[in-house]
């Protein structure tokens, strides 16, 4: 039996084989946001407050809270913060990795607190693209989830000329767009869906500018999941928060490859009686899932003996 390879690879498990995707775990934007918050907490000069969840993983947020980082506000960073004058004076306010709208930024800075921006640079590039188009009077079509905090923040840069689409019907229901059209994507969407929908948009607006703004980490995870299937995974375990967009996408992609898919947050949610039917299992994780959770899931799977007769 070989040791767990934390950077990807396979190991034998009492007759069961587990293949871990190389890209499973933190993306660089999430790691950057965590380091920003943790660095201030380690200085011990005051409280570290995040405007809504810094990342979409409740277990990591709980760990951060134990180290002195506390979430305030709401999931979409839209409500006002209820902070005392003492908290404002003694705390640093950190912007979430998903980014915020210009209006939200202005509000947060008006609180008079020490302010640090942990927005993922990839999201910042999308915001800059939208802002540039808005200055030229262009309409921006955003492929994404209208309820996701990243999309809510991005819409704020569109100057009232932003439109969110998720499917063909949304594209069909777009109003007539005058003044030019550009299309971008939420950073964690499916590549093939963006390509298909952007093609439909360009059929209607031949001069539309199409910008593939799906981040490299998301593309890598989608590619690696396909590799798990190619390498013989009979089932896929996807680890990450159920409110994490990129994790849900991974689970959906696994289902589309006709593999039994188990979206879990921790090893406690593994059902040995269910998993023992598989001889080979693929493991991947969302961009906000820490290594300690992935390792725990892999260790738990190692302890399950492959028993096909129990299926």
Identify whether 99 is part of a domain: yes
Confidence band for 245, pLDDT divided at 50, 70 and 90: confident
One of 71, 78, 103, 150 is an active-site residue; which one? 150
CA distances from 100 to 80, 155, 200 (A): 13, 9, 29
Q: What is the pTM of this model?
A: 0.89
CA distance 270 to 106: 44
Residue 263 is predicted with a pLDDT of 97
Question: What's the confidence (pLDDT) of residue 258?
Answer: 86
CATH number of the domain at 227, please. 3.40.1010.20
Q: How does residue 307 score in pLDDT terms, banded at 50, 70 and 90? A: confident
Shared domain check, 102 and 76: yes
Distance, CA of 278 to CA of 306 (rounded, Å): 6
Q: What pLDDT, on a 0 to 100 scale, did the predictor assign at position 8?
A: 53
Shared domain check, 157 and 74? no
The range of the structural domain enclosing residue 249 comes to: 9-26+216-310
Domain count, the chain: 3
Interhelix angle for 58-66 vs 28-43, to 10°? 20
Q: Which of 67-71, 194-198, 306-310 has maximum average pLDDT?
A: 194-198
Rounded Cα distance, 113 and 278, in Å: 53
- Nearest-CA neighbor of 118 among 141, 150, 95? 95
**CATH code of the domain in which 39 resides:** 3.40.50.11270
Asked whether residue 160 carries a pLDDT value surpassing 50, the answer given is yes
Read off the DSSP letter of residue 258: T
The answer to whether residue 220 is catalytic is no
pLDDT at residue 13 tops 50: no
**With the C-alpha atoms ordered 32, 182, 243, 152, is the resulting torsion angle positive or negative?**
positive
Q: Are residues 115 and 152 in the same domain?
A: no
pLDDT digits (tens, 9 = 90+) for 15-54: 578 999 999 999 999 999 999 999 999 887 679 999 999 9
């Amino acid at each position: 039996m070989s040791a767990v390879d934390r950077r990807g690879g396979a190991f034998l498990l009492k007759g069961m084989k587990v293949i871990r995707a190389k890209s499973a775990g933190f993306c660089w934007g999430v790691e950057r946001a965590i380091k920003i918050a943790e660095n201030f907490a380690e200085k011990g000069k005051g409280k570290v407050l995040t405007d809504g969840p810094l990342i979409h993983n409740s277990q990591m947020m709980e760990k951060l809270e134990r180290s002195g980082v506390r979430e305030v506000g709401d999931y979409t960073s839209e409500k006002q913060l209820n902070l005392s004058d003492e908290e404002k004076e003694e705390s640093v306010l950190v912007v979430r990795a998903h980014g915020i709208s210009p209006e939200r930024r202005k509000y947060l800075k008006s609180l008079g607190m020490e302010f640090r921006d942990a927005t993922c640079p990839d999201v910042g590039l999308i915001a800059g693209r939208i802002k540039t188009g808005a200055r030229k009077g262009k309409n921006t079509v955003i492929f994404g989830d209208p309820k996701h905090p990243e999309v809510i923040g991005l819409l704020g840069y569109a100057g009232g000329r932003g439109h969110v689409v998720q499917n063909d019907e949304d594209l069909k229901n777009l109003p007539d767009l005058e003044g030019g059209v550009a299309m971008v994507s939420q950073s964690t969407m499916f590549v093939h869906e963006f390509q298909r929908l952007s093609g439909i948009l360009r059929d209607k607006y031949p001069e539309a500018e199409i910008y593939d703004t799906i981040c490299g980490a998301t593309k890598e995870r989608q590619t690696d999941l396909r590799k798990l299937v190619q390498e013989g995974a009979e089932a896929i375990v996807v680890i990450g928060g159920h409110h994490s967009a990129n994790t849900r996408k991974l689970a959906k992609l696994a289902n589309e490859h006709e593999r039994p898919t188990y979206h879990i947050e921790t090893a406690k949610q593994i059902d040995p009686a269910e998993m023992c039917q598989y001889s080979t299992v693929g493991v991947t994780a969302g961009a906000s899932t820490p290594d300690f959770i992935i390792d725990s899931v892999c260790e738990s799977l190692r302890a399950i003996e492959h028993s096909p007769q129990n299926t």
